[in-house]
Amino acid sequence: MKLQESLWLLVTLLCVSCIQATILPQIPSLTNFKEAKHAAGFQLSSKTEIVVDAKFANLKANKHSPSLLDYAHTFSSDLSEIAGLKSIRVRTDSSKNQRKFGNAIYLTVLSQTSAKKYKYYNGNATDEAYELDINQDIIKISGSSALGTFWGTRSVLQQVAIHQNQHSSHISIPAGSGADVPGWEVRGFMLDAGRHWFDVEFLSDLCVYASFWKINEFHVHAVDNLWNPAYLEWQKLYAGFRFQAEPGSPLEGLSRPKNETWSRREFEWLQSKCLSYGVTVIPEIESPGHALAITQWKPELMIKGTPDNMNITQPEMIPTIKSIWKEFLPWFYGSEVSIGADEYEASLANDYIDFVNTMADYIHQQSGKSIRVWGTNEPSKTKKISTKVTIQHWDFPGDDIPVNLMKQGYNVINSEQSFLYLDGKSSGETSFPQELNQDIMWTGAPGGNGWAPNIFDAKDSSNNTAVDEPRLRGSIMPLWSDWGNNATTKLEVYYSFARSLATLGLKTWSGSGSSALTRSEFNSLYPLLNQVAPGQNLNRVVPSKGKVVVSYDFKKTKHGHVTDKSGNHYEASANNVKFGDSGATFEGSPKSYITTPIGSMGPPYTLSFTVNPTSLSGILFSGTDSVLLVNDLTWNVTGQLYSLNYTMPLNKATKVEIHATREVTYAYIGQEKTPRYWYTVLDIWGDYMQTANMSFAAPIQKIGAGFKGTISNVQLSQGA
């Protein structure tokens, strides 16, 4: 019997023993939990408090990491949000007083001796494991470190949500005990922020959301460019370098576009926010390939004819890259960074290998950090990349054979494109989906088994490793922005990540064969858990008593306040607006508008209104995610314009009804029976143009502003 088949059999037998005990269902599933039969469970109430072991309250992994007490405050906020409680007290106390605690969630850290028994599948010790003990008086979470304890709080949050959904009158968590241990140390996702601009607030929301599924790394691909094989106007081709050099720095001209960069303060805030939820940011500054942002700044460094490739043999090339890293290394909190080093000119293989090794040594000397590179097959017969460098595999078998790399002593992260690559939109010529293919994730491994980080090849098991391969570090799921800023909104990027991150969290924490969670169980749990994931509102949910969220007829106002007829009491306030039987009349000034207490609402939704413009300038609706202009009914999303190519008739009342799902946005106008869709146009490698659907959040924070005319009968409802 083959080694892989033996392991799958062993894992299956282990799973059978797991099923014999009661497993609390959640995502990812617990390693083991045995319910205490006939024992009363823990009742969550307004009197529940979070008690932190005073001995470990200030324990932290390093100067940037949160302490156990910091994690407790994050937990308190999240638990209050999910359970609908006003506030949950956090205090410290000695472990000697545990028996005196009443209705408490106790956070502590295991002794070093107890923690040592917990290991990743590869045999390395883990600081992310935790033990869970529940009785009617206390929930005790004991982590192998403060971080391990934090992951235990994520499990408690999910159990609160699940049991609250089952019993609306009370929240009771079953009594019992168990332990939970992650399978792999790298459980990450990557976002291409080089070819698409994202603000740090959105990136932090992604961290918070990913953390709910016990994802622990966010790889930020911060430098890249659109690709055009002709490169006829390479100086104008979009290229992003997102780190904003300090004013007066020799690198100031490198940061571009100027209004699409992160300051040091912003990026450090992002890293701190992510760390507060257990997620480490891995920044990537790509070179010597995919480096058009650098060669646009210093054209003399490019390879002639392929301007996105830097010429390593040029004497100033390596000193330039060193100067870039020297400037930005002090920004980065984690112990690892990525230098990219992907898809480079094969004829310069020896120079490429020298470059990678030189940068590995330089970055370690400057900061103590180690580096990662993308797996690239550079055909050198005399030189090798240092085994101190982690290889992030992505293309089997074109660029590397992972099992061979590990035999040669390399640590490997699995980002195999056939399983894990996502793209913001599909060009029609790429196989990369917008979200993980669930069939592949659950049955795409050899023998119809589910995917796990040790799976690189769907057909030949000899190309896959054992689950406990010592040099397999885990997996990162990349989402690429191949078609630039106009291809997707940031919320569409979240829609790609939403279910994908939950699936990835399960597969990288629990694996496949060892998971007691079936696909049907996952499918039943995910919708609820996605809706309650705390600390962010990427779904853009607006609470409502019924299907209608807001309804304004704008016929009258009381002391400047507009009544919401939906019954949800989202009253609006007016500024320089007149009201009458025809609705709200706006004077065409930026100071003439109506504001509501809602920023925006995510799809599916229907937004209907009647508009009678006297000019085609100004804003109809604006919100935190988008703006709808009267001119051609054009959406403006972070500076990208999406026109309906419909000219609104002047001095005539026209009803508009906008419908949106997570895939499309369309409108019925007037008496038309055929919907009109909003599209974007994708530039596919400079070869041809292709249309793609767009999904927009409903902007409802401000109505009017620069618009001249009347608006009436505004109604926003759930469902498209």
Residue of 452, 493, 448, 502 whose CA lies nearest to 475: 452
CB atoms within 10 A of CB 686: 15
Residue of 409, 710, 714 whose CA lies nearest to 570: 714
Tell me how far apart the alpha carbons of residues 129 and 418 are, in angstroms, rounded to a whole number. Answer: 30
423 neighbors 692 (Cβ within 8 angstroms): no
Q: Where are the alpha helices (DSSP H) in 427-565?
A: 438-443, 490-509, 519-532
List, in sequence order, every residue forming a beta bridge with 714; answer none if it has no partner. 552
List, in sequence order, every residue forming a beta bridge with 280; answer none if it has no partner. 217
Task: Please identify which of the residues 185, 217, 268, 343 carries the catalytic annotation.
Answer: 343
- Token pair of 693 as six digits: 């659907």
Tell me how far apart the alpha carbons of residues 480 and 189 are, in angstroms, rounded to a whole number. Answer: 11
Half-sphere exposure in the Cβ direction for 342 (13 Å, CA)? 21
Tell me how far apart the alpha carbons of residues 489 and 485 are, in angstroms, rounded to a whole number. Answer: 8
Residue holding tokens 């207490």? 597
Residue of 493, 475, 495, 491 whose CA lies nearest to 483: 493
Residue of 615, 611, 581, 627 whose CA lies nearest to 710: 611
Residue 547 contacts by C-beta under 8 Å, 6 or more apart in sequence? 717, 718, 719
Active site residue 343: yes
Q: Please give the span between the terminal C-alpha atoms of the chain, in angstroms, as a whole number.
A: 54
CB atoms within 10 A of CB 116: 12
Strands annotated E in 10-48: 32-35, 42-44
Tell me how far apart the alpha carbons of residues 282 and 279 are, in angstroms, rounded to a whole number. Answer: 10
List, in sequence order, every residue forming a beta bridge with 572; answer none if it has no partner. 562
CB atoms within 10 A of CB 716: 27
Please identify every residue annotated as catalytic.
343
